């Protein structure tokens, strides 16, 4: 998750998809039965802008997570970072790399 995801301030119905893979093998991680959350904040802020609950559009076996960004995520231009947290049963795993977002001002 090292690339910056570019967004436009005020846009709606924005989905961001992630595929979770095992760092060692490169294989997708089976997320069946998992819950996911994206903790989203402006870079340099200690306070979260929002927490987005994710879905598993393929049921989880394919390792895909979808985050439907909220109006709060898109309201203010700036640079943001986010942590993706995955919970399976009692195990909580935070993806090591932070996702980067750049929300630019809308032109029209």
Question: If the chain, 108 residues long, is cut into consecutive pieces of 10 residues, what is the mean pLDDT of each piece?
Answer: 85 94 93 96 96 96 96 95 94 89 92
Per-residue pLDDT, 2: 52
* Boundaries of every domain in the chain: 4-104
Residues with Cβ < 8 Å from 20, sequence gap 6 or more?
Answer: 28, 29, 31, 63, 64, 65, 86, 95
Element (H, E) at 104: strand 99-104
CATH number at 4-104: 2.60.40.10
pTM of the prediction?
0.89
Find tokens 């402006």 and name the residue: 42
């Amino acid at each position: 998750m090292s690339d910056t995801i570019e967004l436009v301030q005020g846009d709606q119905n924005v989905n961001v998809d992630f595929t979770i893979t095992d760092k060692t093998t490169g294989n997708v991680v089976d997320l069946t039965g998992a819950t996911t959350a994206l903790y989203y904040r402006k870079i340099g802020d200690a306070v979260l802008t929002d927490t987005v609950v994710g879905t598993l559009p393929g049921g989880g076996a394919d390792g895909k997570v979808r985050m439907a960004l909220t109006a709060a995520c898109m309201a203010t231009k700036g640079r943001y970072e986010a942590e993706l947290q995955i919970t399976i049963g009692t195990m909580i795993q935070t993806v090591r790399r932070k996702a980067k977002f750049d929300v630019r001002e809308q032109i029209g």
